[in-house]
Amino acid sequence: MTDIAVRTLQILDRLGVGDPFEPGGELVSRSPIDGSELGRLRPHSPAEAAEVIGRAHAAFEQWRVVPAPVRGQFVRELGGLLREHKDDLGALVSIEAGKIVSEGLGEVQEMIDICDLALGLSRQLHGLTIATERPGHRMMEQWHPLGVVGVISAFNFPVAVWSWNAALAFVCGDAVVWKPSEKTVLTALACQALATEAARRAGVPEGLSAVLVGDRAVGEVLVDDPRVQLVSATGSTRMGKEVAPRVAARLGRSLLELGGNNAAIIAPSADLDLAVRGIVFSAVGTAGQRCTSLRRIIVHESIKDDLVARLTAAYETLSIGSPLEASTLVGPLIDQPAFEAFGAAVAQAEADGGKLVTGGEQVDVEGGGFYVRPAIVDMPAQTDVVKAETFAPVLYVLTYRDFTDALTLHNDVAQGLSSAIFTLDVREAELFMSVVGSDCGIANVNIGTSGAEIGGAFGGEKETGGGRESGSDAWRSYMRRSTNTINYSTELPLAQGVEFG
C-alpha cells in the first residue's frame, strides 16, 4: 500500500468513514496523483437505489413540517463539522481529485460559506403580499418545500457542488440523494459521514441525506424516479442533453450546470500585470479542469505580442507535480482519457494552423500520474477545436481589431458559462456587461473567469444549461410556489369584472 493510500485510510477514519475496501467491491477509487488504489466499493443496485430514494421521501414528509429556522440548525451543525475537519477533507479532495492543497482547502471553505448563507436564509424564505383589485381581499405568495432533490456531481468539484445544493435544499425543507462521480466517491462518503453526524446532533429524520455509489445505471434511477422532484446535474453538455429530456418526460424539474468555453477579452487599455495574473490562474487552476476554466483569450492586435510574451514567461515558471506539495501550482489530469484529450486538442489546433507557443507536452513526475505542461496556442481563427470544450489546460489566443468583432468572437460558441474583460475603459466594461455584450451567466471585469463567490447565483446560458445554484435567489429552485387569495369580506367579487349570477 502506497503512502498516499495509507494517508487516505487515516483521513477517512478521522472523518468517520468505514473501511473503503468492501468485500466484493467493484468500483475502484484511484488517486490521479500516482494511480494509488484508495478503495474498492460495492455499487448500489438499481433496486437498492430506489430504496434509498424511498427512505429520503419518507424523511422529507417529516422534515417539511419542521420550521425553517429549526431546519437551519442542521446546516449550522454541518458547517461546524466542516470547520473542524477542514484540513482532512481538503486533503482528501487533493488526493482523490488531484487539486493543489490551497484549492482543496478552498473547496471546503466554499462548503462552510454556503452553510453560513443557508443558515441565514432559513429565516428569510419569504414570499410576497400582492395588490389585489378586489376589495376585502388579500393576495400573497408562499414558498413550500419541494421534495427529494437528486444531485449528480462531477469529479472536478467533488464536495462543493453537493454543498451548494444540499445546504439550500435542507433549509428549504427537502431531502437530498447524491450520486457523485465514480472518480471521487470517497470524498462523497466523507461528506455523508459528516452530514450523518450533523443530523444526529440536530435530530434530523433518518435518510434525509444519502449517497448512491455506482455508475450510469444508478444515476438513471435517480433521474427517472418520480419521487425525485428536482434533479440538479453538473457535468458535460452531452450528459445534460440526456438527463433533461428524461426528467422532462415525467414533468420533473432539472437544474443543469454543464460545459463552459470561457473567454476573456483583453483590451488595449488593460492593466497587463493584472490581466496576466487573472488569466494564468483561470487557465491552469485545477489543471484546466474547471467548468469556469479560461479556454480562450481575445486580445487586441496592438498588445498581443506583449501579452503573449508575458503569459509565456509566466507559464514557464509554473511548478508542476504532486498537488500535496505546497509549492505545486499545477497538479495532474484526472485520468488517461483526459490526458489523451489534451494531446488531441493541441494536435488538432496545430493542424488547423495554430502555433504552439509553449507547453503541450507530458511531464514526468515521480510516482506516475498524468501530468502535462499547460499549453498556449496562437490561433488564426476560431476553429471547431477552439469552439469545443477540452477539459484540460489548453489556452487559445485569438486576435481582434474592433471591439464589436471581439464581442462577436466571444459569443460565437455553444456554451455560455463564464466570461471576463480586462479594460480600463468604462464604456467597454459597461458594454461587455450589457444585453449586447457577453451572453454568459457570469460576466466579470478585471478579474478572471473562475473563482466565483457563493453569494451570487452560479450558472450559465445556452448549452451550459440555464441552471443557477448557490446564492442570490437560487433557493427558489428547491421550493414550490403557492399563490393564495383570502376573502375577508362578505361579498364575492370576481376578478376582471366578471359577472356570474
Distance of CA 85 to the CA centre of its chain: 22
Same domain (yes/no): 202, 240: yes
Q: Which residues pair with 320 in a beta bridge?
A: 330
pLDDT value for 444: 98
Q: Report DSSP state, residue 497.
A: G
Q: What count of other Cβ atoms lies within 10 Å of the Cβ of residue 439?
A: 18
Contact 86, 108 (CB under 8 A): yes
Return the closest-CA partner of residue 35 out of 4, 69, 81: 4
Query: pLDDT (tens digit, 9 = 90+) per residue, 184-228?
Result: 999 999 999 999 999 999 999 999 999 999 999 999 999 999 999
Same domain (yes/no): 309, 247: no
- Within-domain flag for 500: no
Same domain (yes/no): 25, 106: yes
pLDDT confidence tier of residue 86, bands split at 50, 70 and 90: very high
pLDDT value for 425: 98
- Within-domain flag for 458: no
Same domain (yes/no): 192, 84: yes
DSSP-H helix ranges across 155-290: 160-172, 185-202, 216-224, 237-249, 272-284
Instruction: Please say if the pLDDT value at position 263 is more than 90.
Output: yes
Strands, sheet with 228-234, edge to edge from the N-terminal-most edge strand = 209-211, 175-179, 148-152, 228-234, 253-257
Whichever domain contains 189, its CATH number is 3.40.605.10
Number of domains in the chain: 2
Q: Could you tell me the three cell numbers for 171?
A: 433549509
Contact 195, 163 (CB under 8 A): no
- Within-domain flag for 460: no
Residue with cell 451543525: 77
pLDDT confidence tier of residue 11, bands split at 50, 70 and 90: very high
pLDDT value for 277: 98
Pairing of strands 375-378, 394-400: parallel
Same domain (yes/no): 213, 74: yes
Distance, CA of 352 to CA of 24 (rounded, Å)? 48
Same domain (yes/no): 254, 106: yes
Query: pLDDT (tens digit, 9 = 90+) per residue, 88-129?
Result: 999 999 999 999 999 999 999 999 999 999 999 999 999 999
Q: Say how many residues make up the chain.
A: 501
- Within-domain flag for 490: no
- Domain of 96 in residue numbering reads as 3-258+465-482
Q: Report DSSP state, residue 203.
A: T
Run of H or E including 376: strand 375-378
Q: What is the mean pLDDT of the chain?
A: 97
Same domain (yes/no): 56, 177: yes
What is the average per-residue pLDDT within 132-149? 98
Distance, CA of 174 to CA of 65 (rounded, Å)? 10
Q: Could you tell me the three cell numbers for 70?
A: 429549526
Whichever domain contains 285, its CATH number is 3.40.309.10
Query: pLDDT (tens digit, 9 = 90+) per residue, 347-398?
Result: 999 999 999 999 999 999 998 999 999 999 999 999 999 999 999 999 999 9
Same domain (yes/no): 126, 107: yes
Residue with cell 440555464: 466
Distance, CA of 88 to CA of 79 (rounded, Å)? 15
pLDDT value for 501: 81
Distance, CA of 79 to CA of 118 (rounded, Å)? 10
Same domain (yes/no): 186, 306: no
Same domain (yes/no): 276, 143: no
Distance, CA of 257 to CA of 277 (rounded, Å)? 26
Same domain (yes/no): 216, 171: yes
Instruction: Please say if the pLDDT value at position 235 is more than 90.
Output: yes
Distance, CA of 25 to CA of 205 (rounded, Å)? 29
Residue with cell 489530469: 333
Q: Could you tell me the three cell numbers for 367?
A: 510516482
- Within-domain flag for 501: no
Catalytic residue among 257, 389, 463, 469: 257
- Within-domain flag for 497: no
Q: What global pTM score does this model have?
A: 0.96
- Within-domain flag for 492: no
pLDDT confidence tier of residue 1, bands split at 50, 70 and 90: confident
Same domain (yes/no): 123, 253: yes
Helix (H, G, I), strand (E, B) or coil at 256: strand
* 257 catalytic per annotation: yes
Instruction: Give me the amino acid identity at 338.
Output: A
Positive or negative: CA dihedral 226, 232, 234, 236? positive
- Within-domain flag for 126: yes
